[in-house]
Amino acid sequence: MRDLGVLIPILGIMCGLVAIIGGVFIKPWFRLRERELEMQSRQTAEKAAQYAAHTERLEQRMRVLERIVTDKRIDLADEIERLRDDRVN
């Protein structure tokens, strides 16, 4: 019984130390990790937007090429030159 009387204050002090250590070291680490994940999320979203824009441009060019191939009334040389001019701009 006497050992239990000494153990309770020691456990109380240890719980306090663990709480202090958690507040000083662990909490800022979690905040840092959260910021890193937010930054990574933003970068991923930006890359996805860039890929989507690039894909849209490629799809537009494919539609034009399909139209050139299937529409015999279009003068092919003029259409190709127009595409080259669009690509430069």
Q: Which residues touch 67 (CB under 8 Å, ≥6 apart)?
A: 74
Q: What is each CA distance from 34 to 19, 39, 43, 44, 83, in whole angstroms?
A: 21, 9, 14, 15, 46
Give the residue carrying structure tokens 């994940």.
Answer: 37
Residue 66 has pLDDT above 80, yes or no: yes
Domain boundaries defined on the chain: 2-88
Tokens 């250590």, located at residue: 21
| pLDDT at residue 34, as a whole number | 96
The percent of residues in the chain predicted with pLDDT above 70, rounded, is 91
pLDDT for 1 beyond 60: no
> Mean pLDDT across the stretch 30-58?
96
Cα distance between residue 14 and residue 7, in whole Å: 10
Question: What's the pLDDT score for residue 73?
Answer: 65
